[in-house]
Amino acid sequence: MWVCHCKGVTDRQIRSAINAGARTPVEIGAHCRAGTGCGGCLPEVCRLLDDHLTSQALYTAYGGSRRPGRGDTPHPPGCGDCPLLAANEAPELLSA
Protein backbone atom coordinates (compact mmCIF):
# COMPACT_ATOMS: atom_id res chain seq x y z
CA MET A 1 0.00 0.00 0.00
CA TRP A 2 1.24 3.50 -0.79
CA VAL A 3 1.98 5.44 2.38
CA CYS A 4 3.99 8.42 1.15
CA HIS A 5 2.62 9.77 -2.11
CA CYS A 6 5.15 12.63 -2.30
CA LYS A 7 8.12 10.27 -2.44
CA GLY A 8 6.37 7.13 -3.72
CA VAL A 9 7.05 4.97 -0.64
CA THR A 10 5.08 1.85 0.28
CA ASP A 11 4.43 0.26 3.66
CA ARG A 12 6.77 -2.57 2.62
CA GLN A 13 9.64 -0.10 2.15
CA ILE A 14 8.91 1.49 5.54
CA ARG A 15 8.87 -1.94 7.22
CA SER A 16 12.16 -2.70 5.51
CA ALA A 17 13.65 0.49 6.97
CA ILE A 18 12.37 -0.47 10.43
CA ASN A 19 13.75 -4.01 10.08
CA ALA A 20 17.10 -2.49 9.06
CA GLY A 21 17.22 -0.62 12.39
CA ALA A 22 15.36 2.67 11.89
CA ARG A 23 13.70 3.62 15.20
CA THR A 24 12.42 7.15 14.58
CA PRO A 25 10.49 8.84 11.75
CA VAL A 26 13.68 10.77 10.91
CA GLU A 27 15.68 7.53 10.58
CA ILE A 28 12.90 6.01 8.45
CA GLY A 29 12.98 9.12 6.24
CA ALA A 30 16.74 8.84 5.87
CA HIS A 31 16.38 5.21 4.80
CA CYS A 32 13.45 5.42 2.35
CA ARG A 33 12.46 9.13 2.20
CA ALA A 34 8.98 8.57 3.71
CA GLY A 35 7.84 11.65 5.62
CA THR A 36 10.37 13.97 4.03
CA GLY A 37 7.85 15.72 1.73
CA CYS A 38 4.62 17.28 2.98
CA GLY A 39 4.52 15.18 6.19
CA GLY A 40 0.98 13.93 5.59
CA CYS A 41 2.14 10.32 5.87
CA LEU A 42 3.85 10.72 9.25
CA PRO A 43 0.87 9.40 11.25
CA GLU A 44 0.98 6.15 9.22
CA VAL A 45 4.80 6.00 9.43
CA CYS A 46 4.51 6.33 13.22
CA ARG A 47 1.76 3.70 13.35
CA LEU A 48 3.94 1.21 11.46
CA LEU A 49 6.84 1.98 13.81
CA ASP A 50 4.58 1.63 16.88
CA ASP A 51 3.31 -1.73 15.63
CA HIS A 52 6.86 -3.01 15.22
CA LEU A 53 8.21 -1.68 18.52
CA THR A 54 5.19 -2.89 20.49
CA SER A 55 5.44 -6.37 19.02
CA GLN A 56 9.19 -6.47 19.72
CA ALA A 57 8.66 -5.30 23.33
CA LEU A 58 6.00 -7.96 23.93
CA TYR A 59 8.11 -10.64 22.27
CA THR A 60 11.06 -9.80 24.52
CA ALA A 61 8.97 -9.32 27.68
CA TYR A 62 7.35 -12.73 27.34
CA GLY A 63 10.48 -14.77 26.68
CA GLY A 64 10.62 -14.86 22.92
CA SER A 65 8.48 -17.27 20.98
CA ARG A 66 8.18 -20.03 23.57
CA ARG A 67 5.07 -21.08 25.44
CA PRO A 68 5.56 -21.63 29.17
CA GLY A 69 5.37 -25.30 30.08
CA ARG A 70 5.22 -26.52 26.51
CA GLY A 71 8.86 -27.04 25.73
CA ASP A 72 10.28 -25.39 22.66
CA THR A 73 7.05 -25.23 20.70
CA PRO A 74 6.85 -21.85 18.94
CA HIS A 75 3.45 -20.18 19.05
CA PRO A 76 1.76 -18.12 16.33
CA PRO A 77 0.49 -14.59 16.99
CA GLY A 78 -3.03 -14.57 18.34
CA CYS A 79 -2.85 -17.87 20.22
CA GLY A 80 -4.84 -18.42 23.39
CA ASP A 81 -1.99 -17.46 25.71
CA CYS A 82 -1.58 -13.99 24.18
CA PRO A 83 -0.17 -11.60 26.84
CA LEU A 84 -2.53 -8.85 25.66
CA LEU A 85 -5.52 -10.97 26.59
CA ALA A 86 -4.07 -11.73 30.03
CA ALA A 87 -3.10 -8.15 30.91
CA ASN A 88 -5.57 -5.89 32.69
CA GLU A 89 -4.01 -2.75 31.29
CA ALA A 90 -3.46 -1.64 27.70
CA PRO A 91 0.08 -1.80 26.31
CA GLU A 92 1.90 1.52 26.06
CA LEU A 93 2.42 2.79 22.52
CA LEU A 94 5.95 3.83 21.70
CA SER A 95 5.42 6.74 19.30
CA ALA A 96 8.09 9.14 18.32
Instruction: Assign residue 12 the CATH number of its domain.
Output: 1.10.10.1100
In-domain check, residue 95: no
CA distances from 27 to 3, 40, 63, 81, 87 (A): 16, 17, 28, 34, 32
Residue 11 in any domain: the answer is: yes
Question: pTM to 2 decimals?
Answer: 0.63
- Assess if residue 6 is contained within a domain: yes
Q: Is residue 47 part of a domain?
A: yes
Q: How far apart are CA 87 and CA 33, in angstroms?
A: 37
Q: Is residue 96 part of a domain?
A: no
Tens digit of each residue's pLDDT (9 = 90 or more) over 3-54: 999 999 999 999 999 999 999 999 999 999 999 999 999 999 999 999 998 8
- Per residue in 60-89, pLDDT (tens digit) is 776 665 444 444 444 444 444 444 444 444
Q: What is the total count of domains within the chain?
A: 1
Domain hosting residue 80, numbered range: 2-86
User: Cα(31)–Cα(16) distance, rounded to whole angstroms?
Assistant: 9
Q: Would residue 65 count as lying in a domain?
A: yes
